[in-house]
Amino acid sequence: MRQWLEGLEARKGLDHLTDASRRLVLGSYGVLLALMLYRGVLVSTDGNPLVPLVAFVLPLVLFLPSIIARRPRGHAWLSFVSLLYFTQGVMVATLPGQGLRGTAEALVSLALFVGCMGYARFRSRQQRAG
């Protein structure tokens, strides 16, 4: 895997790979945030409707400063958090009538994981080189 990534870096260049992974992070982050907002509204019950909304959205919002500041370490941590959303999406996909929503959540969180890990790797290597 390491040799493949180094070959990819040599062929495409760190700047291109960093930009591509950044676009993947931004796109998948936005879609996952929208899915979690929708899910929070959908799950809200007779009690306080903000509780499920905050529970689903807050872990993502906490990483917004790292995304804006383009910090590789923050992206690495966000990739680990995205695996929680992946697990949740797989579990939701097994519920009757929730297959599409759960599958979408799992796929988007997987894209966020790949984008964050790529960005963390390529951006940190870019910073070391330049």
Q: Output the pLDDT for position 104.
A: 97
Q: Return the higher-pLDDT residue of 85 and 2.
A: 85
Helix (H, G, I), strand (E, B) or coil at 45: coil
Q: Output the pLDDT for position 8.
A: 80
- Position 45 pLDDT exceeds 80: no
Q: Output the pLDDT for position 43.
A: 78
Q: Output the pLDDT for position 71.
A: 95
Give the whole-number percent of the chain exceeding pLDDT 90: 71
How does pLDDT run across 49-106, given as a tens digit for each residue?
A: 788 888 899 999 999 999 999 999 999 999 999 999 999 999 999 999 999 999 999 9
C-alpha angle 19/88/46, rounded to 5°?
115
Q: Return the higher-pLDDT residue of 10 and 29.
A: 29
Q: Output the pLDDT for position 102.
A: 95
- Position 4 pLDDT exceeds 80: yes
Distance CA 113, CA 119 (A): 10
pLDDT-derived band at 112 (thresholds 50, 70, 90) equals very high
Mean pLDDT value across residues 4-17: 85
Q: In sequence order, which residues have a C-beta less than 8 Å from that of residue 97 and are 6 or more positions away?
A: none
CA Rg value for the chain: 16
Helix spans in 1-130 (H): 2-12, 14-43, 50-61, 64-69, 72-93, 99-129
Q: Output the pLDDT for position 73.
A: 96
